[in-house]
Amino acid sequence: MSDIPGSLRGAANIPEQEDLPVRSARRHARCLNGHDLEQAGVNGGYHHDLRTSTWTCNLCRELHLPRARWLVIEHGQPTPAEQAAERARVWPVLLVARRPEARAGIGRLELRVRDAAIADVDLQLCGVDHRGVVRRIRVDVAYLRRGFGTVMLDAAMARGPGYHWSTVELDPSPQARAFWATQAPIEQLHLGEPHYCSHMREANGDWF
């Protein structure tokens, strides 16, 4: 084989844009600019630096719109915390699950990018009563407005398909209200009032 042309060699060294929006791997009917994806068409790709799949809305790309491409976060298969360090050597983007200390207690899902936790969600789950409570979603300020909070909500709810889902009392700030007002959870989610089961109440130290 002849030598690789210089221009191609140069291109391979240009790091890919990393501040892309993110979405969970669940089916999305519309792109981030609101196009029906069946009409607009989508193209699958791969972000080699982050070793993560991407989707691009074809219509957005033709129109040169921002947010045409997004990273696909595998929200349904978290890595147990004990295996996270090892897997992070291979996978720059990793969803990590931290088990609760007590049954039906507070567990955590953490999204790590290059071994830094940039978003997490605290949740309580009960497999006996098929209930889930989303307690708190946090996104690092440097990563806001890119869809990480929504991915964390999808990741939380993927832990209990068909469960009865609710949240704790919501943060009254306009930013938090705007977050919840844009969510379209995959199943019904009761906002602002946790529907704890007796196991969760016991784990929370509340027997009343």
Binding site for Zn ion (CB under 5 A): 31, 33, 35, 40, 57, 59-60, 126, 128-129, 197, 199
Shortest distance, position 184 Cβ to Zn ion, whole Å = 17
Shortest distance, position 202 Cβ to Zn ion, whole Å = 9
- 133 with 200: CB under 8 angstroms? yes
For residue 201, count other CB atoms closer than 10 A to its CB.
15
Shortest distance, position 17 Cβ to Zn ion, whole Å = 17
Helices (H), the chain: 6-13, 37-40, 58-62, 81-88, 148-157, 174-181, 198-203
List, in order, residues 6 or more apart from 114 with CB less than 8 Å away: 92
Helix %, strand %, coil % of the chain (to 5): 25, 30, 45
Shortest distance, position 131 Cβ to Zn ion, whole Å = 6
Which pair of structure tokens corresponds to residue 146?
A: 């890119």
The DSSP call for residue 102 is S
**Furthest-apart CA pair in the chain: how many Å?**
77
Looking at the Cβ atoms of 112 and 146, the one nearer to Zn ion is 146
What are the φ/ψ torsions at residue 183 (nearest 5 degrees)? Answer: -80, 145
Shortest distance, position 133 Cβ to Zn ion, whole Å = 11
For residue 7, count other CB atoms closer than 10 A to its CB.
7
For residue 160, count other CB atoms closer than 10 A to its CB.
17
Shortest distance, position 99 Cβ to Zn ion, whole Å = 16
